[in-house]
Amino acid sequence: MSDPSIETVGMDSLIVRLFDSIDEEHMPWMLAADHALREAFGEALIDLVPSYTTLLVHYDIQRLDLQAARARVSEALAGLTPATSGEGQRHVIPVWYDVSVGPELERIAERLGVSHEDVIARHCARDYSVFALGFAPGYAFMGRLDDELATPRLKTPRQKVAAGSVAIAERQTAVYPTLSPGGWNIVGRTAVALFGRDREGYSLFRPGDKVRFEAISREAFIEQGGDPTPLAERGDTPTEAQT
């Protein structure tokens, strides 16, 4: 890791940039930096938001001025070493893969010249790293997908994507935690609740976690509390992927 850069983005916020590219191998460094900064700022920290390559530090200007805040960042990251493996949690998310709830499953299979089952097997074949949370509460950006599964975002986003929809965009995958608009390719649905105010930290996933998807039947999905209503019946308009 090269020397971090510190950018002022507001009177009470700094962006700390550790890397310039997305890579799963960067995650131990990002986790270590997250921990070090939280320790260094203590009660002066209002919020800290890690992303793929940066961390946003929002601090209390009643406790620290800009110079002091920048100094704390520099001191916290001096001699930083990567976090040890296994610090994040591992989650197995059961998914019902079916074109009724994941219409892009058909398009991806046709593009690759393979069966739906082969697309599903590839999506379930590896653990994905949680890089960042964003877009919506509990929405985790995960990667990286197998190159062949990489699929462009939809040209026209859907107005409504069902909660629990499992999606693909480029070499990333995600699960929509709530009903919302969305432009990713939907391939299935899970009954697992990803966000809740009664959960510590609200979100099931945290940056640094590992996630693996597991294919289940429609019957098992319903038994787990899943809603099998087809996506098209929710007022969604079919769209085509960008080329």
Which tops the pLDDT comparison, 148 or 25?
A: 148
Using an 8 Å Cβ cutoff, are 166 and 186 in contact? Answer: yes
Which tops the pLDDT comparison, 20 or 84?
A: 20
Q: Fill in the amino acid letter for 165.
A: S
**pLDDT given for residue 239 in this prediction:** 47
In terms of phi and psi (left: phi > 0; alpha: psi -120 to 50; beta: otherwise), the region of 224 is alpha
Which tops the pLDDT comparison, 198 or 63?
A: 63
**pLDDT given for residue 50 in this prediction:** 85
Q: Is the pTM of this model over 0.85?
A: no
- What CATH class does 5-77 carry? alpha beta
Please give the CATH topology (third level) of the domain spanning 90-234. Answer: Cyclophilin (2.40.100)
Taking only the tens place, the pLDDT of each residue in 146-170 is 899 999 999 999 999 999 999 999 9
* Average pLDDT of the chain to the nearest whole number: 89
**pLDDT given for residue 211 in this prediction:** 96
Query: Domain locations in the chain?
Result: 5-77, 90-234
Cα→Cα distances 169→20, 51, 64, 109, 144, Å = 20, 17, 40, 15, 10
**pLDDT given for residue 85 in this prediction:** 61
Res. 243: pLDDT tops 60: no
What percentage of the chain's residues is helix, strand, coil (to nearest 5)?
A: 25, 30, 45
Q: Fill in the amino acid letter for 182.
A: G
Range in 35-39, 87-91, 141-145, 168-172 the model is least confident about = 87-91
